[in-house]
Amino acid sequence: MSEDFFQGYKGEALAKLQQYNVRVWGSAEVETTRGHFSGTVLPRAENDDSKHIVLKIPTGYNVGIDIDTITDMKEVGYKKANYKIPEKEFPRTPGLPHVKLLGTGGTIASRLDYRTGAVIPAFSPGELYGSVPELADICNLDTEKIFAVFSENMGPKQYVALAKKIGEEIEKGIDGIVIGHGTDTLHHTGAALTFMCQNLPVPVVLVGSQRSSDRPSSDAALNLMHAMTAAGHGNIAEVLVCMFGPTSDEYGFLHKGTRVRKMHSSYRSTFRTIGDTPVARITRKGVEPIKEEFNPRRTDRNVKIIPTFDDRVAMLYYYPGMKPDMLHSIIDNGYKGVVWVGTGLGHINKEMYPAVERATAEGVHQYMTLQTIWGYVHMFVYDTGRDMMAKGIVPCGNMLPEVAFIKLGWALGQTHDPEEVKRLMLTPINDDITDREPYNGYLVYQGGSPEVEEFIKKVHK
Amino acid sequence: MNQLNPRKNFEETRNEIGYVNRKDATQADYDRIGFMSGLEVHQQILTKRKLFCRCPAGIFQKPDQFDAEIIRHMRPTLSELGEYDGTALMEFRTRKEIVYRIINKNACTYEVDDTPPFQVDREALEKAIELALASKLNIVGEVHITRKQYLDGSIPTGFQRTGIIGIEGSIKLRNKEVRLIQLSLEEDSCREVSDIGHTRIYRTDRLGMPLIETVTYPDFTNPDEVKEGCDYIRFLNRSTGKVRTGIGAGRQDVNVSCKGGTRVEIKGVAHTKWIPELTHVEAFRQWALLAIRDKLLARMKPEDWKMQCREIDPKEFHFYYTPVTDAIARGDKLIAINLPHFGGLLSHFTQPGKPFYDEFTNRLKVVACIEKPNMATSEDIDDVISGNVFDQLRTMFNAGEQDAQIIFWAPEADVETAVEVIEERAKMTFAGVPQETRKSSADGTTIFERVLPGADRMYPDTDSAPIPLSSDYIESLRKNIPEEIADRYAQLRDWGVPADTYTYILSKNFYPLIKKIVAELDIPPKFVGAFFGHRLKYLHGQYKTIPFDMDRIYDMFNYLKSNNIDKSIARKMLTEMFKHPKMDFESILTQLNFKAIDKADIISRVSFIKDKFSPCRKDTTDGDRLNSVMGQLRSMSEGNIDLKELAEIVK
């Protein structure tokens, strides 16, 4: 394929560049009705308009030139930039644990993408060592890029591939696995891997970053160090999500893949364990368990991989006045499972009942979870609850809606027998349902109250 | 060589390089050393909100006031062109823990980088474009928000979001035209609270406030010109009435070099009056560093130079200098260093009161985070460590006659960086002038602040889309542009307004008001100019602030005119307006015991008073008589007759 000399330009802007024979990465002298401009022509992001040409001027800044103002343009030189993280060979240190980093994409390691103007993942042990050299003091690292997708594009196919990969790596004798992942659906993957990879002998740590690694204040480096430490040295052999504790660069938490949720669109400390405490705190010095009980690291390799998933599962987030056609269309489209996200203790309106009955009759498995996020489904309290159970909706305890969705897909991948599905759903694999909610499992402090303000002032957020 | 007298050496080397005090310096001196300077003038824009979030702008907090604190560490990242920036790497070495103090009133999650930017504040953008038009710049077709890396922590993201509004303009000074490189719209940074050891504390009140930066080419060839240019740009910014005023609202970075030197940036100069001394001293500092380089090169080749370094046991030496004994008590390490062939160079003159070793001690503070005093040398001007210690060290190192020694003390964790810092700075001596940013002191000297960042620290802001600026939009804004500052100077001169009033009038942007009073109320411009530039300035100085809205001055003149009261009473009224900002004009006149007296009535009294004047001394002149008569008539005349007109009659 011939080289693209006009990367990202289209329409009139492309015509203008072609007219004057000026290429992307060419040094250009541009005469316009707004004066003279000179600089290097940069690629243009695909979604930007076709009315401007981007120049990097000698002071290092970028400016756009309105093509309607251009009266003349000349290319006086050419130098293509090569954006590359310095690649250095990752040092091997005898005695340090062997950790495998599986890449799925996301912002944990990224570089600029001119096509979209956003950042794209960059990833190799050498690149990682080049940008976070401290990793070499923690472990011996190998990496493998499995997919390059953003978090929102992760799905059942990827869960299955990841689970199988984890199985292989464990058999090969790895000391710990880290998975780099976009943060949006990190908790879905956390749940999926918990169900698909049971009886783990080593830690499987999911990690992401809320600020891409092309920023000096990125949380990527510290998250990676924490994840490598947890995977290589930690004693908790479970599927864990490793992200910032407070928003400050101080420590991270290890959350169970089944109890964690992304709770803020952009905060660093966005991941929180719901209805319980995190399993542990993590610093660069090591893992400090918070929960007394966890599955400890073992030397055997007896992992059980159950890589199944039926993607004919949907979620219905109930809203007041919801019409039954929502459920009918799901049934009509051949879905086999529905996870309800109900109000309060787990409710939907009466108008929906006939549709619920039809779903049950046609073999659609229905489970109830909560919009309140915290707390248990209690369907015995009101008549509505009892009615719904009678019509076939199964309460999921305090299982998080996203976890229930993943678990139902996983269960339906194995069987469609209602009793068997129900057994799988309601038998906790790793605290996806817990027996009790500790007093400190629900702490959403309200700003403004004096004691909270005092706390915030004293303790770094 | 051991007999070297550091103080004498300092004086001698100052004379050797031909240092002259600024008041004695001529253009020939600046031409001799090739003085060159350019400016980066920062000016906050007056907006309701911050640039990239919806927090209010201009609400400040005290250093110890905060609702929450957040901690960050900064790591260097690559630029768009795939390079690491020099400063970035240095800042990374310092391993600073950055603490941000936030209060809810003026900072949200954007300031602490927990939320991506919102769309740029249109009010700020509009004002920035107007300022760019006033600076006669070529306006860009599309504003691209760029991230400019700052790893010192002054911005929690680690970069400043900034966008170029216009490039290539010019300003007209008295004797020359100075070219402008660009004008950008940027977010302001945090204010530093403290920087001790490995902890630096900032407050986030100023962070994110919109700011423009006007950058000139290095067209200035002497220190006074730099000040003139800076005043011009500041007056120009203020002439639009769209900028913030007050402490810290306008600041400048001044770039200076000398012939054979390199661009050094003096950061954050708050007042233009400091510019001449700072640029003068900096140009000569570079000149001195070049002399030091030449001396060193004459002694040896850079590739053969090797530093010796050894930890010393405090028990084997006698220290009486408190910082050293304190350090030993704290358990700090004591490190001795031998700098071959640096004899006579460490005490070489670089700046008034500052020998060459000052460059080392400040780098130790900034890069290795060791608080000052952090070292002593064999050439200290104030002999803090006895010569015996250095004799012992020379023996220990088997040092040559021409070598110099440094001892520094530091916590064990900082020793490695500290040694690197000293070695690095010593090696830079062979090259002459390191590229750096420097912090200014009130005495005109500067100290090392950071390695000078380059264009490599730029990165497109992937969180913001480009903002197109249509030609129609730009033309609609062009209508708001005030006349040029050069034209304002010329008009004031033509009016015969005294020259000593210009700076006050232009820096406070009172020109439009003066023009309005002159044009609409038909009051002589010379009188109005002096009224503002002398009377108002005097009272402003006395009271520190003007307690009333400036339109009140227009209203006062308007009141006088419509009530047929002569403007001569305006000066006294102004004093009352400062005393009683809310009092109406009628009450002020009552307060002043003003009585309307017919002009003819006053004139009719002239001859009587004139006759009454009986000189008590023989040498009494006509002038004395005039003063006496005017003195008696003044209080009744003010407001009733023009005093000049009266004086003519008295004569």
In chain A, CATH 3.40.50.1170 sits at 98-305
Judged by CB atoms closer than 8 Å, whether chains meet at B66 and A218 is answered as: no
Nearest to A250 among B71, B112, B148 (CB): B71
- Per CB-CB distance under 8 Å, the chain A contacts of B74 are 216-217
Flag the least confident range among B75-89, B536-550, B570-584, B627-641: B75-89
Overall average pLDDT of the B609-633 stretch = 73
pLDDT tens for residues B404-447? 999 999 999 999 999 999 999 999 999 999 999 999 988 999 99
pTM value > 0.95: no
Contacts with B, A 258-297, CB within 8 Å: 264-268
Judged by CB atoms closer than 8 Å, whether chains meet at B84 and A86 is answered as: yes
**The pLDDT value given to residue B94:** 66
Residue B1: pLDDT band with limits 50, 70, 90: very low
Nearest to A248 among B71, B79, B149 (CB): B71
In chain A, CATH 3.40.50.40 sits at 313-426
**List of chain A residues with pLDDT < 50:** 1, 115-120
CATH class of the domain defined by A313-426:
alpha beta
**A183 carries an active-site annotation:** yes
Distance from C-alpha of B381 to C-alpha of B10, rounded to nearest angstrom: 8
Please tell me whether the interface predicted TM-score (ipTM) of this complex is above 0.90.
no
pLDDT tens for residues B252-275? 999 999 999 999 999 989 889 999
**The pLDDT value given to residue A384:** 79
Q: Does domain A11-78 have CATH number 2.30.30.520?
A: yes
**The pLDDT value given to residue B615:** 62
In chain A, CATH 2.30.30.520 sits at 11-78
**A51 carries an active-site annotation:** no
Options A40, A107, A258, A384, the catalytic residue: A107
Contacts with B, A 179-238, CB within 8 Å: 210-218, 221-222
Overall average pLDDT of the B624-637 stretch = 78
- Per CB-CB distance under 8 Å, the chain A contacts of B475 are none
Options A184, A214, A311, A387, the catalytic residue: A184
Percent of chain A with pLDDT over 90: 74
**The pLDDT value given to residue B87:** 55
Nearest to A268 among B114, B116, B469 (CB): B114
Instruction: Kindly report the CATH number that applies to the domain delimited by A98-305.
Output: 3.40.50.1170
Nearest to B144 among A54, A248, A266 (CB): A54
Q: Closest Cα partner for A400 from A194, A92, A181?
A: A194
**A184 carries an active-site annotation:** yes
pLDDT tens for residues B279-310? 999 999 999 999 999 999 999 999 999 999 99
Judged by CB atoms closer than 8 Å, whether chains meet at B455 and A52 is answered as: no
Contacts with B, A 24-83, CB within 8 Å: 32-37, 48-49, 51-52, 54, 56-69, 81-83
Overall average pLDDT of the B453-481 stretch = 86
pLDDT over 50 (residue B642): yes
**The pLDDT value given to residue B5:** 92
